[in-house]
Structure 1
Amino acid sequence: MPTCYDNSESLQELCQVPKWKAVERWVPLLILHGELDTVIPPYHGHSLLEEARHLGHPMAEAHFSETATHNRWNMVSDIVTPMLSFLCKHVEGWQDAQDSCE
């Protein structure tokens, strides 16, 4: 039985590009999940990444923190660093505005 955390259907909708469009457009996808999360089990994040890649999503990335729970994260290593790296790669103009991309 699907739960509110099973996002496969939503992901499929995001990954589909109508055939009438000449250019494929993808929304960059970053998944941050704690391996010690007991509220939303880590397999949800892993499955979401696997499904995105299976659907051909070219900009799907994830950071799975070995020490994070549902509510406890290291702000720098588990959130800020992966987000900055992701933004520098996938958001046009971000790298030009940020010294932290180097």
Structure 2
Amino acid sequence: MSDIRAGDLVECIDDTPNRPESQIMPDLGAIYTVTNIRAVGDGASVRLKELTPSCHLGGVCACGDCGWDAGRFRKVYRPNGEFIASLFCDVPDRVEAPELVD
């Protein structure tokens, strides 16, 4: 199964529909939040917070629990707050810029 988990940020790396009934697809390069992931066959299906498939409107299965193949997404590294703060701890409050001379 995928290393993607609920709450992860993912980037879409494949927006090509696999089936003719696929009407709503994630945008290539867009960042999404994973709401849940479930095993499907030998892979995984990813549900997204920002985008919902249209199949629940009467498509092939109409289960309302569909998503997209996890292979369409790449996990986006999201460092924790302490790491980000450590990057700025040695930055001076004010940087002196040299004066311009005409």
Query: TM-score category by the smaller chain?
Result: under 0.3
Q: TM-score when scaled to structure 2? A: 0.21
Structure having the higher helix fraction is 1
Structure having the higher strand fraction is 2
Q: TM-score when scaled to structure 1? A: 0.21
